[in-house]
Amino acid sequence: MRRGHRPRLDERCDAFQSLAEEAGYDVNIFQPRGGGQYGPSWAKEQKQLVDWVRSLPKPIGIFACNDIRGRETLDACATADIPVPERVAVIGVGNDELLCELSDQRLTSVDVNPIRVGYQAADLLSRMMQGQNVPAKFNVSPRRVVERQSTDMLAVEDPEVADAVKYIRLHACDAIDVNDVVQEVAVGRRVLERRFRDLLGRSLKSEIVRVRLARARELLIETSLSATTISYRCGFSSPAYFMDHFHKKVGVTTKEFRESARREEDPDPDED
């Protein structure tokens, strides 16, 4: 999706289109229409976006040029009553926490590693001031894709199991338990447990804990919140249980996990 009249973002769009087409995929690009030099008003552009999303073949994935456009796309899907991610999966760029966490429909986004970009830019500026020759352009690899609900699609044909998975992924951090899932899906517990395990290879309780731990890993990487605060935010009954379970499942303590993530993030300007 182009942002419109933004060369850097258009370059990102062109590169994505080229890679997708090389891989054998068809690409549809949203192009805002009208409005002169600066494009249409936000309201008109959003209506165009809604119409464009409606016109796309489904299911489909949409790569937005940044997180603002990603949020606008999620809003367009809501206006068009199109389920996300079941019919349209959306991914943004920038990993702006405020934008990505704005609602229950949390936005998956590419972490572009802005700290390393800043250090590389400062290093190039320093070399230029010393009279050294520097490249006109350099590339910094994205750090990772931060997965959230907007792409969290699990293809299962059993509708009750799919509903259970969706409910767990939306509410696992609200301190729900297996009984809450069973009540939401309205299928007998033993039947649901059996079908869930047959399709996913794990129990309802294991899925709840898995989603909570995934969220805990995000918060350990992206925030400076204490492990105690994270434990409660992720729906665990106590910090001690959370930290013990985290160690067993992840293989390191919460402190070690956070320190390792920060070492990976720490930029090295001398690195090629």
Give residue-wise pLDDT tens across range 160-180: 998 899 899 889 999 899 999
Largest Cα–Cα distance of the chain, in whole Å? 74
Looking at the fold, whether 112 and 182 belong to one and the same domain comes out as no
Residue 264 pLDDT greater than 70, yes or no:
no
Residue 267 near residue 115 (C-beta atoms within 8 A): yes
pLDDT at residue 261 in the model: 81
Residue ranges making up the domain that contains 203: 159-265
Own/partner long-range contacts of 77-83 (Cβ < 8 Å, ≥24 apart): 77/53, 78/105, 79/46, 79/50, 80/50, 80/53, 80/54, 82/53, 82/54, 82/58
Q: What is the CATH number of the domain that holds 178?
A: 1.10.10.60
Q: From 151, 182, 202, give the residue that closes a domain.
A: 151
E strands, the chain, in order: 60-63, 88-93, 108-111, 144-146
Number of domains in the chain: 2
Give residue-wise pLDDT tens across range 243-252: 999 999 999 9
Looking at the whole model, is its pTM more than 0.75? no
Give residue-wise pLDDT tens across range 181-217: 999 998 899 999 999 999 889 999 999 999 999 999 9
Give residue-wise pLDDT tens across range 56-88: 999 899 999 999 999 999 999 999 999 888 889
Q: Any bridge partners for residue 93, and if so which?
A: 110
Q: From 151, 181, 201, give the residue that closes a domain.
A: 151
Q: From 128, 151, 174, give the residue that closes a domain.
A: 151
Residue 54 near residue 80 (C-beta atoms within 8 A): yes
